[in-house]
Each structure stands twice: as C-alpha cells, then as structure tokens.
Amino acid sequence: MQKPSLIKHLFILLFITQSFFATAQEKMIAKDGKEYNATSTWKFSCKDYAYTGILEVQIAKTEKGGLLKLGIEVSNETFYIGDTVYIILEDGSYITCTDKGIRELKGKKTIAYYFLTATEMNKLKGILVTDVRFRIKGNEDTFSSKTGHFTAINKKSDFQTFGTSEESKTFDTKTEIKSLYN
C-alpha cells in the first residue's frame, strides 16, 4: 500500500478549511422577510443589564452594505432598543448607527436593525468589534427590567469559556465579517 502524497494531504486540508468557512456563515432573516448571509450570532456580555446580561449581535452582508441586528430580552413588551447605536472598534474608532425605527418583538426579545454602509462594512472586515453601546427605551416600573444606556462587550460569558485559553474568550468578529465576502 502506498502512502498518500503531500498534494493529496494539502488538497484534503484545503477542502476541510473551505468547508469550515462555508458552513460558518448563517442566514439573517430581516423584519421584512429578506434573507441575508450573516455572521453567527455573538452573545456579547452586558453586565450592567441585570435582566439577562446578554446582547445578541449579528451582522449581515446586503446589496448596499450591511445590516446590524441587536436583540435582548426585556421584561416589558413595550421596551425596545432605540436611538443611536455605537459599534466601538479595537483601534478606538467607532461606527455610528442611526435609528431608522426598524424593530420587532419576538417573545420576550426586542430586536432592532441598523443599516451599515459599504465603507463601514470594509472597516469591520479589518478591525475587531470590542463593544456595542445601545439604549433600551420604555417606561420602566418597580418590577421591570431597566431602561437606559448600556454597553455590551465582546466577551463570551465565563460559563461558556470555562477551562479554555484566553483567545477564545472573545468573538472573532473581523474574520467572520470578512468570510461574508468569500
């Protein structure tokens, strides 16, 4: 029996790598029912928001740029993510996302969508997202979750990363966004 050649090994490795990146993409279905290629849903840690402590963040590639989807559980169905959202990047710069009023409520989760330009998507392909600054609006009462400004950081919950290396404690937003263009 002959040993497989180096070329066969490289081909197999290339196939496995290509398959991984092809399956890493997910689909985002926007409020209007359109389906877009998207990153996985990142669960950013939001310690100041005691109700759940998790902001779900997803970015999709659209025809004109991109779409940012934010989702968080709320105790009151009238609460929503509104106003300007800031995507803070590793180099200290940020992307400002203007509220266009595109939102929905699914169960106890309020979801908001923000448009990103082609230039902003190019920036996101090259620089890691470190934080997302957002606002929950509504009329809070004694027994409801909080409203106000919150910052979600690109950090997996400690429970998800127990016993793993330091590198895996954050989401590789840059690589996932870049893979949308392959």
pTM of the model: 0.81
Q: Residue 69: beta bridge partners?
A: 58, 113
How far are the Cα atoms of 1, 15, 19, 64, 167 from residue 6, in angstroms, in the given order? 16, 14, 20, 43, 31
Residues 111-150: tens digit of each pLDDT: 999 999 999 999 999 999 999 999 999 988 888 888 999 9
Note the Cα 8 to chain centre separation in Å: 37
The position carrying tokens 């966004």 is 177
pLDDT band at 6 (very low <50, low <70, confident <90, very high): low
DSSP 38: E
| pLDDT beyond 50 at 21 | no
Distances (CA, A) of 38 to 1, 131, 150, 159: 45, 19, 24, 25
Q: Which helix (H) or strand (E) holds 62?
A: none
